[in-house]
Structure 1
Amino acid sequence: MDVLTVLTSPALFTDLNLFRLVVSRMATLSLDHGNGDGSCLAYAWLGGVLGTYFGEYQAGCRFGRLGLDLVEKHGLDRFRARVYLVFAVHVAHWTQPLQTSRAFLRRAFDAAQDAGDHSYVAYSCIDLITNRIAAGDSLSDIEREAEHGLEFARKVRFGLASDCITGQLRLIRMLRGLTPDFTSFNDAEFDEGRFEQHLQNNPQLAIGACWY
């Protein structure tokens, strides 16, 4: 609770820390007044904040597990896909093998599909690809996963996800030696300069540019 006291201090109320303040406030209200569906997501995000920004990895993992338990054991599952994804990407990878995170990403993918939450289906695809690259999986297998993810993102017209996965797919193809030049993403199907110009001309695609 000492960490929660620090997190909710008015001194943290700046643009850079607003998200952390909101998350910690949500968790504090839940602890004080009882849990609802949103509490699960608050605890999962708080777990990520505690590890990433404060080095409190074990405490963060406990809060993340609390969010999971509320989803899986107490039926507070309205935001189930988001809880799984946040736990996988922002909590589990600090304290557990990447394969553990991957299992929760697949749960997030399935839960998002069940809920018709296309954005989190796509986010799960992006993070699954990243996880598999980091884990050193077969690049040919990861390429197939990336192609399926890109196909889905385009089908639902989620441009930001398409751009993120495009960058990942071009990296994979380059690493596999499938581009004419190992230092470039260019090939017969892709123009690196044109894609970079597309990202630069659209400030709302900053996340896509970051991934690229």
Structure 2
Amino acid sequence: MSAREEMLARIRQARGDVSGATTVPRSYRTSGEHAPGSDAVVAELVDRLEDYRATVVRAAGDDTAIGAAVASALAERGIREVMRPPGAPEAWAAAVDVARTDDGTGGARELDAVPAVVTGCVVAVSGTGTIALDGTPLCGRRALTLVPDTHVCVVRVQDVVQTVPEGLARLDPTRPTTLVSGPSATSDIELSRVEGVHGPRTLIVVVAG
């Protein structure tokens, strides 16, 4: 069968003109060789994130230690104000001089004046260096994580998996999902890299635990 005939056959099948269904191969990997949260997947995630020019900070798993790591990372950049979504622990922002909670009313202009935000995440995929946010109170609304110039994202080690199928299994497909792989960046035709075009210019990942 030619490519044209196959394409037309699929169109007819989709329209219900023929019976039977095409068998879709499902032989791809559904899990990695390393367990979620293991030292191996955490090390791989850190390697990928740093390769993408994100800043990675390690911290203990308690909220106070996470808050200290957040404040230190921001202070190094001269940032002393942070906003958090309503579901993020208060302790994550408590050590920053000015800490506010997003009430969901601020638009793009108001959020553009916020120097940094700190959020949690749903899952992180070590194989691709990708962090997933889903708009829940822990992750915050999408605008909160895309408009401010600096995003501090807390990733707990137990939420790190190795493969994309493992990561997708932890997501709710009915929620708005944002996938983050390093700071926002793009390149022009001459491959000149520009950061902060369609998201935060700076991504700081606090790996906790």
TM-score (norm 2): 0.24
Higher RCO structure (Cα 8 Å, ≥6 apart): 2
More strand by share: 2
TM-score (norm 1): 0.24
Q: Which has the larger radius of gyration?
A: 2
More helix by share: 1
